[in-house]
């Protein structure tokens, strides 16, 4: 019976993955992500239900738009599959079962999947634009705050003061980032990374965040090494070198945090 449950979780994950592709494309350019219908970015034709079935639509259409025949980027189907797998792994990591589910587990899973969805969107945007969107961060903080309230009211968790301290620090950083934006006319990527760090610490605790930073540093080091080797081979211009040296730190942090979160859950729930 649990197999059916996990198939359902996978399908939900692919639906979220389809939404992630839309959000990653629209949020940075200020387009609505909830009310405006999906459309082909090449021919602007509005898509029907049959054009938006995760994985299946891409497969049956041969990876092309039904209307203009423009090739659809492979990342769309990869993100849908990856999202479905991550959702299944998260459910499995907390031993989700129809026969043993309770309010505590259900609340953790719902907020956890929303948290992971937040990281997916942040990672997708940051990888393409080296930019962390504040509205997405705010959504993540709202989810974590709701979970904090649930823990305090329903489960009488006395660690609420820990959450409050990090929330206050996050608000200070966000306020400073907004003031910096008004003064300089641009976002401070460093401050946004720090705010993202606060979000991760709030939901996954300090130990998970430390491992997240370690893996992120390793990933960044590998990318810098690859870039340096590539630059030596291709002998490109100095100006291009500087552009290519921009590292999507938020992307690596989000991916690392999801991996460590899953590993931690498996270690705790299966010990």
Q: Is it the case that residue 245 has pLDDT exceeding 70?
A: no
Task: State the chain's mean pLDDT as an integer.
Answer: 86
Cβ–Cβ under 8 Å, residues 249 and 216: yes
Poorest-confidence range of 14-18, 113-117, 198-202, 233-237?
233-237
Per mean pLDDT, which range of 128-137, 146-155, 157-166, 186-195 is the poorest? Answer: 157-166
240: pLDDT confidence band, cut at 50, 70 and 90? Answer: very low
Residue 243 scores a pLDDT above 50: no
Q: Which tokens hold the place of 187?
A: 């976002």
In this prediction, residue 238 has a pLDDT band, given cuts at 50, 70 and 90, of low
Where along the chain do its domains lie?
A: 1-91, 102-271
For the ranges 52-56, 87-91, 149-153, 188-192, the maximum mean pLDDT occurs at 87-91
More confident residue, 214 or 32: 214
Q: What pLDDT was estimated at residue 242? A: 44
pTM of the shown model: 0.88
Query: According to the model, what pLDDT value does residue 208 have?
Result: 94
Tokens coding 44: 């602007």
**CA distance from start to end of the chain:** 24
Structure tokens at 104: 């505590």
Q: ∠ at Cα 97 (212, 261), nearest 5°?
A: 0
Residue with tokens 């979220």: 16
Q: Going by C-beta distance under 8 Å and a sequence separation of 6 or more, which residues neighbour residue 195?
A: 132, 137, 170, 173, 174, 177
Structure confidence by residue, pLDDT tens digits, 65-93: 888 888 888 888 899 999 999 999 999 99
**Nearest-CA neighbor of 269 among 97, 90, 95, 106?**
95
pLDDT tens-digit map of 181-218: 666 666 678 888 999 999 999 898 889 999 999 999 99
What average pLDDT does the segment 214-237 reach?
A: 83
In angstroms, what CA-CA distances link 71 with 38, 62, 182, 226? 16, 9, 40, 29
Confidence of residue 150 (pLDDT cuts 50, 70, 90): confident
Residue of 149, 120, 156 whose CA lies nearest to 24: 120
């Amino acid at each position: 019976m649990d197999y059916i449950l996990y198939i359902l979780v996978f399908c939900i994950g692919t639906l979220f993955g389809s939404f992630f592709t839309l959000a990653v494309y629209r949020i940075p350019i200020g387009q609505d992500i909830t009310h405006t219908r999906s459309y082909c970015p090449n021919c602007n034709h509005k898509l029907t239900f049959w054009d938006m079935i995760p994985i299946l639509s891409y497969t049956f259409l041969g990876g092309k738009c039904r209307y203009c025949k423009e090739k659809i980027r492979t990342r769309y189907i990869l993100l849908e599959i990856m999202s479905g797998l991550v959702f299944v792994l998260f459910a499995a990591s907390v031993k989700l079962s129809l026969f043993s589910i309770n309010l505590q587990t259900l609340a953790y899973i719902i907020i956890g999947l929303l948290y992971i969805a937040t990281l997916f969107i942040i990672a997708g945007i940051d990888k393409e634009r080296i930019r962390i969107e504040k509205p997405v961060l705010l959504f993540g903080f709202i989810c974590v705050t709701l979970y904090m309230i649930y823990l305090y009211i329903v489960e009488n968790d006395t660690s609420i003061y820990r959450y409050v301290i990090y929330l206050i620090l996050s608000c200070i950083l966000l306020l400073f980032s907004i003031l910096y934006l008004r003064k300089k006319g641009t976002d401070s990527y460093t401050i946004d990374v720090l705010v993202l760090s606060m979000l991760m610490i709030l939901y996954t605790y300090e130990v998970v965040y430390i491992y997240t930073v370690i893996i992120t540093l390793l990933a960044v080091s590998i990318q810098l090494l690859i870039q340096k080797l590539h630059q030596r081979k291709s002998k490109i211009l100095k100006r291009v070198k500087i552009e290519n040296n921009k590292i999507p730190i938020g992307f690596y942090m989000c991916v690392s945090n999801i991996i460590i979160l899953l590993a931690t859950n498996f270690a705790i729930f299966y010990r």
